[in-house]
Structure 1
């Protein structure tokens, strides 16, 4: 961290701390006194969902183990009750007990969970604590974290952009919220590692690269389009170390209404990170780790709450690892420090996240292309690395966000948020690898690229509820803005000849190293309004909304500093959703939602040079069924996404470009998560795709499959708590991907592949503090395969190697 970054970081910490101090005094002035009795209208449902509803309505905070509520159901709760009476009625007959740890926090416990002195009884195993944060107003986003679902791997809901936090059964989209427990148990080191549980998602670059963009529903999803609490332009640009995340939420499909225009225009889906917050019980965890071949490091997680009602919270997550990876002559160093601060008052809530992340990757792997007309050679050994050992990518990023909410009344909440990121990167890498013959010979181009990115984002809005007769409205008004300035420069070096089966290592080459200069600026702003109309106790919900989006960008010459292009366009994006619950545990849903991408400016080689296309509007239509079986949830989704594209019209003397092409992807997805029985957990599903090109140039490729989109993807993971060794859990996962074309004409393809992962963890007690040992193996059979045929170059899709056999070992100590 250089001096300027340190100054920015510490100023941000000071500002956040001062804001929390001021907000606490303001909160006392605006807090609404809690009533002794609260009106409830909660139907019979799983105990977890019922407890969450009581917490939200009463303003209490509940803390309990996920295993306690799993498989238990609560009776209907209708009428006016004090919070204590409401909890007693829900827990009646379950054998569970409760106790107040402070004026606003209730801990729920199993029978005989503690001795009279509060110590764990002999032989007991401490379970992970689930902190259910019930806010005093259901409009809240801060402190309104949906509880963990049975099994602990997935949450029962998540943040849905402008719609706020919603239960999965009340969300008319396909969304999965992965928990910090899953991240820790699977020893995930990137967002792509977490997405390996999802059949609708694949990593579009090799796992041995320095960045981890995804493919969701057959469309590229840039790593730059990952949000933090719904805000783009905040988290690290290239790759996010996920250890500071409480949830990683993956929403399938476009999300223009929900999240606005993403920086890189991803339409297949969106990824949102919900950062960790301090829980009522102190947290002190240290996790040393070792990964293949010699990656050594660890993770520290510390959380504390302060104040008479534990209103102030501090959570720190620090990560460091360094050493050789599982591929040849590659090493990677990662360091990350993230502070999460929060204040929770009666009527005001505030949160702040401040972080710094540094990564250095030596010999990074990038996509490999295949010359036109050449059959794709067989995949080489998975440990092979044809990047030169002297190449590298070095990044340092400072980021932060501040969010505040104030309850104007029991039914209305105002909110505001701001954040930003500063990225400085330097890369000396193999820019392209092109296979030129069946023997695996490649031509490599070299490049030096310095980059600096400054981003800032703001959001302000109002969320509330009101009724018109039998119809309850949940309304949100929002205004948002994101600005990014990109500075870079390019210096190309000489070509290198090598081979994917027997890489040729050459001496370091000399390339000019220019300074980064301003290359572009983008500003996306928008106004949005949504209304969730519900009747019959939310058995029927209709969601309608619209976003007016403005996109402005400017490009500059890095040689002269002069502006070369300017873009300004706007688009209006309506969206609709419908939920019908014929039974309490069954949701039928449908949606129509649009995605936005900045339109192109036609280049100088065409007859219509300089023409500015409007934002590309992609449309999704989806219908599905969700069933909550109590401890297991299953979903079926059918969808169609149509994405417009630019085609070239051949003409004399010059050709022209026209916004008239289309990529259309239809799919059917089956997902499941939760517990089959108390000791067996399942996570995964299968996805089938029919992705075709429509209205291509001169109809040359009409009806042909979209490159990089397989017909079938399967992910199935199982965990089993063994009865013969208490505390021992074994796990397994299968990932399958069918064959893929790599060119638009469908003349080149890669074969299908499958990968098997295994894992085990053992939890035991040490003087009342649990210790967890984890061991995972990725690609246990050490298969060699091309994992994906996808990149950011639509005319020539790059190949990306699958992960080699990789061992991951860690031990978590609780203090």
Structure 2
């Protein structure tokens, strides 16, 4: 889940910037905004192109975004927005896949030591992805009085995902691999997502209690499209991770002729009551009911040539609810205890035979105890939590299905603010114990869920040189512990520690109102590491499942990268 806020119009603020990233990747952007009495706009345009780290690679982005706001009265606002975004990559290191058998990496295979991800040959010039996202939305905000507020909106988004991936299949314990190229994702290619909501919020008192009460109705329709003429996956060649090679483009066919694979409708009505009991206690209660309907047709396999009729996979509804009790012992300290039980849409994934499995909705439960405090100019938050939910991926039978439950218990701590007038800090860590519970594979019961590190931490310092207010330095430190890469925990990635350093210079005398120069070096010491692990159901390893069998995939971490940017506000 991504929670983000669009850039809104501000009064008479404009900027232009340029950036560079090693090897020879350049980008230029413009951000312009104005607000008038009855209307405001914000426009952002950005484009970048060129090789990034890997020789003969290409990293291309294109963004055009416009936001228009209208203010017919002081209490009513209309917001409209539209954007188009492209993200295209070629030539970057591919995914490394290892066969999984009976919940463990096959015993004749071994995860090799990580290497520098910018080495040519770890990926292929013709392997990468072309992603396009188009979004349009309209929303109103209406506050007729101090006690009432209304909000509603509609959004349409279309995402096209052409992933012509390169997967390097490890074939022994010495780091040798076979490289496969896919002409495109065998799973869905296009995703349409229209959605809308209406919300009413009011504030009132009853029996000495203050209520901030809201009612909301929302819903979406999630439509997936897939190729009826399937793409193919072809072997390109063989090499070793310490001696990678560029191979000629294999005869991999791109898919064509889109058809509607599935439609998911979700409707939800929810109520939320934030109750202030007194100066020390408050209670947050939520209740919602969801209606989820899935209609799909069996996916076309390589041996089929015609569409099958659409069928209803499920049509179900259910309640979700949550409660939080908040206690404030002093003004700048809050403690809380929370429980939530939620119904969510079931996942979908590609089986090893190329067909698609769609799962029914399932529930997750969360318990959390935490505290938040502000001391001087630093915010602190800490929490102990337990989250229990079904976990789904492609199992040993080659089917995407619920494999059991994932139980996460953990502790997290975060802080941010000013230590001194010149030194700021932002960081935290999460300790998490993620275990299988009652899995289909009995030997995995109580084992650590693959791909989940027990410790993840990040600490950023920002120091402004005294008496200048122009020159500043930053240092960012990131640590991730080992991750198991199979259900039985027979192999794991090593932990890694990465350091990023930066410097910036701000001047109000060079150009325009303000000029900012930034220079950053990420992964200063060029640490080689495995950054992420993907179960067999993920795109990449799962995409090539029909050729590779059930395989878990791993991606290499970013090697050292230099970044330079200049921004002028006027």
Superposition TM-score tier, normalisation by shorter sequence: 0.7 to 0.9
Matching of residue 731 in structure 1 with residue 474 in structure 2: yes
Matching of residue 358 in structure 1 with residue 100 in structure 2: no
Q: 1:499 to 1:698 in 2, by over 3 A?
A: closer
8 Å Cα contact 2:277/2:283 also seen in 1: no
Kindly report structure 1 stretches of 4+ aligned residues shifted beyond 6 Å. Answer: 600-605, 610-613, 646-650, 654-660
Partners of 2:398 and 2:124 in 1: CA distance: 40
**Residue 659 of structure 1: how far off its partner (Å):** 6.3
Q: How does 1:164-175 map to 2 (within 5 A)?
A: none
**Residue 730 of structure 1: how far off its partner (Å):** 0.1
Q: For each residue in 1:583-609, what CA deviation from the matched residue of structure 2 results, as whole angstroms up to 9, or x when unmatched?
A: 11001012112344434799999xxxx
Partners of 1:295 and 1:286 in 2: CA distance: 17
8 Å Cα contact 1:708/1:797 also seen in 2: no
Residue correspondences, number: 533
Matching of residue 683 in structure 1 with residue 413 in structure 2: no
8 Å Cα contact 1:648/1:697 also seen in 2: no
Q: Which segments of 5 or more consecutive residues in structure 1 lack a partner in the other structure?
A: 1-269
Partners of 1:444 and 1:570 in 2: CA distance: 45
Which residue pairs with 1:500 in the alignment? 241
Partners of 1:508 and 1:659 in 2: CA distance: 37
Q: For each residue in 1:268-319, what CA deviation from the matched residue of structure 2 results, as whole angstroms up to 9, or x when unmatched?
A: xx32110111223x11101111111111112211110112xxx421111111
**Residue 546 of structure 1: how far off its partner (Å):** 1.3
Matching of residue 447 in structure 1 with residue 182 in structure 2: yes
8 Å Cα contact 1:386/1:499 also seen in 2: no
**Residue 617 of structure 1: how far off its partner (Å):** 0.5
Q: For each residue in 1:134-169, what CA deviation from the matched residue of structure 2 results, as whole angstroms up to 9, or x when unmatched?
A: xxxxxxxxxxxxxxxxxxxxxxxxxxxxxxxxxxxx
Partners of 2:395 and 2:463 in 1: CA distance: 58
Partners of 1:752 and 1:715 in 2: CA distance: 14
Which residue pairs with 1:37 in the alignment? none
Q: 1:659 to 1:686 in 2, by over 3 A?
A: closer
Matching of residue 571 in structure 1 with residue 331 in structure 2: no
Which residue pairs with 1:106 in the alignment? none
Matching of residue 306 in structure 1 with residue 36 in structure 2: yes
Q: How does 1:644-655 map to 2 (within 5 A)?
A: 644-645=390-391
Specify the SS of the correspondent of 2:54: coil
Which residue pairs with 1:526 in the alignment? 268
Q: 1:593 to 1:379 in 2, by over 3 A?
A: same
TM-score by length of 2: 0.87
Which residue pairs with 1:102 in the alignment? none
Match of 2:277 among 535, 551, 555: 535
Q: How does 1:145-160 map to 2 (within 5 A)?
A: none
8 Å Cα contact 1:647/1:696 also seen in 2: no
Partners of 2:405 and 2:435 in 1: CA distance: 9
Larger mean CA deviation between 686-695 and 445-454 belongs to 445-454
Q: 1:579 to 1:469 in 2, by over 3 A?
A: same
Q: 1:636 to 1:379 in 2, by over 3 A?
A: same
Match of 2:205 among 455, 459, 467: 467
8 Å Cα contact 1:701/1:744 also seen in 2: yes
TM-score by length of 1: 0.62
Which residue pairs with 2:6 in the alignment? 275
Q: Which segments of 5 or more consecutive residues in structure 2 lack a partner in the other structure?
A: 100-105, 539-549
Matching of residue 624 in structure 1 with residue 370 in structure 2: yes
**Residue 656 of structure 1: how far off its partner (Å):** 12
Match of 2:150 among 411, 414, 417: 414
**Residue 365 of structure 1: how far off its partner (Å):** 4.2
Q: For each residue in 1:61-82, what CA deviation from the matched residue of structure 2 results, as whole angstroms up to 9, or x when unmatched?
A: xxxxxxxxxxxxxxxxxxxxxx
Match of 1:438 among 158, 173, 195: 173
Which residue pairs with 1:774 in the alignment? 518
Which residue pairs with 2:258 in the alignment? 516
Which residue pairs with 2:542 in the alignment? none
* Structure whose residues are more often helix by fraction: 1
**Residue 340 of structure 1: how far off its partner (Å):** 1.6
**Residue 802 of structure 1: how far off its partner (Å):** 0.8
**Residue 634 of structure 1: how far off its partner (Å):** 0.8
Which residue pairs with 1:130 in the alignment? none
Q: 1:424 to 1:796 in 2, by over 3 A?
A: closer
Larger mean CA deviation between 742-751 and 500-509 belongs to 500-509
Specify the SS of the correspondent of 1:273: coil
Which residue pairs with 2:556 in the alignment? 801
Specify the SS of the correspondent of 2:165: strand
